[in-house]
Structure 1
Amino acid sequence: MNARFLAALMVLVAVLALIPPRGRGLHRLAAASTPTRRPSRGAAAFAGSAKRRLQVVAAAIIIALAIGLSLGLQLVVSALAVGAIVAVITTQRSAARHRALATQRRTQIIEACDVLSADLTAGRPPAEALEGAATICPDLTPAATAARLGGDVPAVLDLAAESPGAESLKSLSAAWQVAEESGASLAATTERLSTTLRSDEAIRRQITTNLAGARTTARLLAILPLFGTALGYTLGADPLTFLTTTPPGYLCLTLGLALATTGLHWTNHLATLR
């Protein structure tokens, strides 16, 4: 493989890493939005998705090794390096998508609580009010069905709360259970819950905005070695040949990728809200 072509490919991968994932901004929590009807997915669904991705990556590595061993060690090392970079980019983008979906789900739950509280205050039965809230937040659809059929609504809400971003449904479940057992006003409790969730989300969004710079810096630092490799060729050097054909180069390449990946992961870990 032409070393200059490989360098250009690595730079292209780096540029793709800098492009932010497609997302939808949330300017006002109270603004009306068209709900995206997505089925609720719990932790098991995400674990299954991650397992499938790992299987695909493992299969790609095996195929690359089989092809590379027939063409030379340099190609194997180059393919593994590029594969590691692509895997890191894929993981980061997947995490960004999950964060965006969690934010969207939290927003829908807040709006659904507003609708639920308003309907209950207007005198609608809890089951009908929950059906109205389910039109805003699809995660409430199973609970609305359970309420209509006389099922265990708190248990269904607890199950729905396992989805990322839907943790606040546990509070709604507790409020529903208290209202059923003690006769307390569900409308007042839901209204207070909505106010609390709105305040928490505003704080969360402010913190996320403040941490955006740290995440961007970490991504920039992680891809600087790729641009450095391209710069080496412009100066007349041949860094990829050194990195992919000599034992010291193997060591430098492995340590560089490991340190860059570890630094990126650790920075994102510190910047993740708990």
Structure 2
Amino acid sequence: MTEAPSKFLLYPQNLLFPEKAFKVFPLFSESVFLKLARTEEFVEYLYKELPFSWKEKITFIELKKEIKVDWNQLKREVDLLEEWGLNFRTPETLKYFSQFKETLEESLESLYPTFNKRKEEEKLKEEFEIKRALILLSLAEKLDFKLYEVEKALKEMENKFHQIFGEKIIGEDETFENIIEIKEPLTSYLSGEGLPNLNLRIHAWKILGKYLDWESVFPLKNILITEKELLEDWKEKFPFERKNPLNEEMEFYEFKVSLFKILEIPGNNFPEVSPETGVLLLSL
């Protein structure tokens, strides 16, 4: 057993589900989560039944004070994009909305203006760059939360089935088989076998990273990840040393580069930054 680092940054997702938090939080004195418009709301809901005090365990990293964001407006824009996505779920609806291409373009232009068609001030480009990254991560956060809620509901349905019908139904029950078919892919996702839209999340972090108030969370030299794909990618790019695992569910590596180098975030040359980064892979 290796002594656990005292602090980590959760990357690239914003939420650590309760089953994982239950295992992780007791090992650390502090965890750093990226704060978006609804992150605190989701965290409060997810952790309300944890059997220990967790609020003092979480520190939120936010945008620098000079970066101004209208979070209410951003939430509305995220909802709008989600609504458009729902409209395009089937070939039939896609065919229908293709008749209104100009309306769609005008609606989305306010969120994703085509800078290549006209010259814009550099400041405006920066604002939309930040907003795009925030929207991507907000959509990912919302997806994670909703998938967790669905998986939780399916578990409750399965338990209820066993409680009420498990001992009374003779023969096979197709309803229960259908529940299993729906549940398996969600369980696979929630067990950490694949974070949806991983590359988009990484891309958004690279953009947003240079605008975050890193000094507010220093010292920070450890990253907690749930995606082995990330670890393998970093192992190919940077020198590292494998340390003794913290426990059966958490591998520990020390990379010989700074946190900003490993996350590919430019423009952060703070003297407090460690030249080494600890990477914790949670397999749960």
Name the TM tier (shorter chain).
0.3 to 0.5
Higher helix share: 1
Bigger Rg, structure 1 or 2: 1
TM-score for the superposition, normalised by structure 1: 0.32
Higher strand share: 2
TM-score for the superposition, normalised by structure 2: 0.31
